[in-house]
Chain A
Amino acid sequence: MTHSVPFLPVISADGHPLTAAQIEQNFSDLHPCLTDLQAMAESNRCLYCYDAPCVTACPTSIDIPGFIRRISTGNPDGAARTILSSNILGGTCARVCPTEVLCQQACVRNRAEDAPVEIGRLQRYAVDHLLDNTAAAYPFARAAETGRRVAVVGAGPAGLACAHALAVNGHSVTIFEARPKPGGLNEYGLAAYKMTGDFARREVDFVLAVGGIQIEYGRALGTDLTLDVLRQDYDAVFLGIGLGDTNALGLVGEDKAGVVDAIDFIAGLRQSEDLAGYCSAASVVVIGGGNTAIDAAVQAKRLGAEEVTLVYRRGPQQMGATAYEQDLAATNGVVVRHWAKPVEIKGNGHVEGLVFERTRLDGGRLTETGRRFEISADLVLKAIGQSLAPAALSGLTLKGGKIVVDETGQTTLPGVYAGGDCIASGQDLTVQAVEDGKRAAKAIHAALSASQR
Chain B
Amino acid sequence: MADLSCTIAGIPSLNPFWLASAPPTDKKVNVTRAFRAGWGGVVWKTLGIDPPVVNVSSRYGVHHDTNRQALGINNIELISDRPLAVNLQEIRECRAEFPDHVIIGSMMAPIEERAWKELAVRIAEAGVHGLELNLGCPHGMCERGMGSAIGQVPEMVEQVTRWVKQAVGIPVFTKLTPNITNILWSAEAAKRGGADAVSLINTVNSIVSVDLDAMAPTPVVDGKGTHGGYCGSAVKPIALNMVAEIARNPFTADLEISGIGGITTWRDAAEFIALGANGVQVCTAAMLYGFRVVEDMADGLSQWMDEKGLTSLSQLHRMAVPNVVNWNDLNMAYDVKARINPDLCIECGRCYIACEDTSHQAITMTDLGNGRKRLEVIDDECVGCNLCSITCPVPDCITFDRVDAGTESVTWPDHPLNPQRLVAAE
**Which A residues have a C-beta under 8 Å from some C-beta of B?**
40-41, 43-44, 47-53, 56-57, 72-73, 106, 108-109, 111-112
Contact = CB atoms under 8 A, between A and B. Distances in A.
Nearest to A112: B346
Nearest to B349: A50
A72 B353 contact: no
A108 B67 contact: no
Given A50-B353, A56-B371, A106-B371, A111 B68 contact: no
Size range of the chain B interface in the assembly: 10 to 19
Given A56-B371, A106-B371, A112-B394, A50 B67 contact: no
A50 B352 contact: yes
A40 B348 contact: no
Interface in B44-82: 66-68
Contacts of B66: 40, 43-44, 72-73
B350 A51 contact: no
Contact of B346 (A40, A73, A111): A111
B393 A44 contact: no
A49 B67 contact: no
Nearest to B66: A72
Contacts of B254: none
B322 to A, nearest CB: 38
B211 interface: no
A40 B349 contact: no
A404 B61 CA distance: 63
Contacts of B365: 50-51
Give me the 3 closest cross-chain CB pairs, A-B, nearest first.
A50-B349, A50-B353, A44-B67
A108 B375 CA distance: 14
Given A40-B68, A41-B67, A112-B394, A48 B350 contact: yes
Interface in B339-381: 344, 346-350, 352-353, 365, 371, 373
A43 B68 CA distance: 12
A111 B371 CA distance: 12
Which among A48, A50, A52, A72 has the greatest number of chain B C-beta atoms within 10 A?
A50
11 contacts: A40-B66, A44-B66, A48-B350, A52-B348, A52-B349, A53-B347, A53-B371, A72-B67, A108-B346, A108-B347, A111-B347
A37 B350 CA distance: 26
Contacts of B350: 47-50
Interface in B279-293: none
Contacts of B352: 50-51
A47 B365 CA distance: 17
Nearest to A47: B348
B71 to A, nearest CB: 14
A101 to B, nearest CB: 12
A109 B171 CA distance: 54
A52 B394 CA distance: 16
B67 A51 contact: no
Contacts of A43: 66
A52 B352 CA distance: 12
Given A47-B346, A73-B66, 18 more contacts: A40-B66, A40-B68, A44-B67, A47-B348, A47-B393, A49-B348, A49-B350, A50-B348, A50-B349, A50-B350, A50-B353, A50-B365, A51-B352, A53-B347, A72-B67, A108-B348, A109-B346, A112-B346
Interface in B303-356: 344, 346-350, 352-353
Nearest to B351: A50
A108 B68 CA distance: 23
A18 to B, nearest CB: 41
Contacts of A53: 347, 371, 373
Contacts of B371: 53, 56-57, 106
Interface in B381-395: 393-394
Contacts of A112: 344, 346, 394
A430 to B, nearest CB: 22
Contacts of A57: 371
B40 to A, nearest CB: 36
B396 to A, nearest CB: 12
Nearest to A106: B371
